[in-house]
Amino acid sequence: MRLLSPENQPPPLTGHDLYAGNRPLAEGLRRAAPWAEERVHALGVALGGDPLEWGRLANENPPVLRSHDRFGNRIDEVEFHPAWHSLMRLAIENGLHALPWREPRDGAHVARAALMLLAMQVEAGHACPVSMTFSALPALRATPDLAEEWEPLLTSLEYDPGLRPPHDKAGVLCGMAMTEKQGGSDVRANTTVARPIGGGEFELTGHKWFCSAPMCDAFLVLAQTPEGLSCFLLPRVLPDGTRNAFHLMRLKDKLGNRSNASAEIELVGAWARLVGEEGRGVRTIIEMVNHTRLDCVLGSAALMRAAVEQATWHAAHRVAFGSLLSEQPLMQNVLADLCVESEAATLTSLRIAAAYDEPGQAPFRRIATAIAKYWVCKRGPAHAAEALECLGGNGYVEESGLPRIYREQPLSSIWEGSGNVIALDVLRAIRREPESLEAFLAELDPDLRPAVVDIEEPGARRLVESLAVAFQGTLLRRHGAAEVAEAFFARSGGVYGTLPRGIDFAAIVDRHTPAR
């Protein structure tokens, strides 16, 4: 028996290598993008040091709205703790917002996904502007002139915060503003109006109910023109250095994601340029949304891994009733089940990311992103709750970091399409692009392919869940550890920790316990 502390408290999990300890991730990266191993590993090592503390500080010192200066002039700024800026700088310098655009080569999206999976473990909030900046470029490419102008700035490895004209900056960030009070999922209900002023330029007037990372340099915004809902690029600072009429009304008091700011904004004749075709705004911005949906999957998987690290570490150092928790059969069952979920989510993330590397996989990507977003993000909150309980009372205390994960997890299931909306989107894909379902089914092991695909609306969640589980089972058979795949197929479908006897719990837990 290892009794490491007389008080029976585990040592803090710091100074560890987040990458090397994450075997499913390291194995997946080696398969798809071995050229990126060194840099992903370097980030994994770096994240185990000071960034853990930056994450805590950024979460505990949330951003503050500064609507006016001391003389009463509108400034519409948000002030962040220095720890937030440190996290952002690390992410941007490592190209988490741009790697595949800067280095379009085989496995580039997988390499970036691996970097994101690591960074989001430390603090998920800062992934929001990173993800939106990454995702904006594919949408912006609908208007090549705009893309050409903005691409060098959006893909720069310099983090250059502060509101200044884009051409005076070494790098910029981009957000998005679609959701209005009257509708988030149903953006057709948008009432923000865009008035043409000539030359592809417009003035936007309206209110947006959720606009995250409002200190970004530009936003893709949906607004109505006579032709219908259209997409616009709206900079915060105008080319002449004056501020655009983009007013921050208040910041949301959120359940989690507290390091990041999410604002309500008012546009009062704000200057913007059309992106893509007028009246085809949803089609234009969906390019951005699909990439951020991928990042929702990565976010949930990253937080599962962070939770597994903490739970397995605690159990390996805490004694109850005379032996380590990690050696007690029922705790092993719970931990193993949590590890299986994490491995399945990691493999899912990497497979979906890989589909973004190959143009020929567009039909698969279309449906698989939605299926993975639905399932992996839905599994997050229950996973966090169970991992938290593994730490007992300590898990309920902020300092453990588990409450932060627990509060963050529901978010990725809500934004970029909530559960029902995503499930219905899968049905839409099946109806309108049947080749996407064919591509997805072809990916599954034959014995896991559903005999019938019921596309009645009330059954949408059931269908998507069954497709997602078949997909994860296939991936685990192909790439997971044998004992993990065996456990996956033996799950009861109830709460965690109900795996049957005969599963090699210890081997599964050992595979996932962080090494230090």
**What does the binding site for ligand FAD look like in residue numbers (CB under 6 A)?**
175-179, 183-186, 210-212, 254, 257, 262, 411, 414-415, 418-421, 424
Structure tokens belonging to residue 15: 């100074």
Nearer to ligand FAD, 179 or 312 (CB): 179
Nearer to ligand FAD, 61 or 185 (CB): 185
CB 199 within 8 A of CB 239: no
Nearer to ligand FAD, 183 or 392 (CB): 183
Q: How far is the CB of 455 from ligand FAD (least distance, A)?
A: 14
CB 26 within 8 A of CB 348: no
- What is the DSSP-derived secondary structure letter of residue 499? P
Burial (Cβ within 10 Å: 0-12, 13-18, ≥19) of residue 465: middle
Nearer to ligand FAD, 81 or 258 (CB): 258
Nearer to ligand FAD, 114 or 464 (CB): 464
Long-range pairs for 6-15: beta carbons < 8 A, 24 or more residues apart:
8/318, 8/319, 9/318, 9/394, 10/313, 10/314, 10/316, 10/317, 10/318, 11/317, 13/309, 13/310, 13/313, 13/514, 13/516, 14/48, 14/49, 14/52, 15/48, 15/49, 15/516
Q: How far is the CB of 376 from ligand FAD (least distance, A)?
A: 16
Nearest Cα residue to 210 out of 163, 272, 257, 280: 257
Q: How far is the CB of 212 from ligand FAD (least distance, A)?
A: 3
Question: Residue 263 and residue 48: Cα distance in Å, rounded?
Answer: 31
Nearer to ligand FAD, 458 or 502 (CB): 458
Structure tokens belonging to residue 122: 């430390």
- Count CB-CB contacts under 10 A for residue 57: 17
Nearer to ligand FAD, 292 or 346 (CB): 292
Q: How far is the CB of 132 from ligand FAD (least distance, A)?
A: 7
Position of minimal CB gap to ligand FAD: 184
Q: How far is the CB of 419 from ligand FAD (least distance, A)?
A: 5
Q: How far is the CB of 29 from ligand FAD (least distance, A)?
A: 29
Q: What is the largest CA-CA distance in the chain?
A: 77
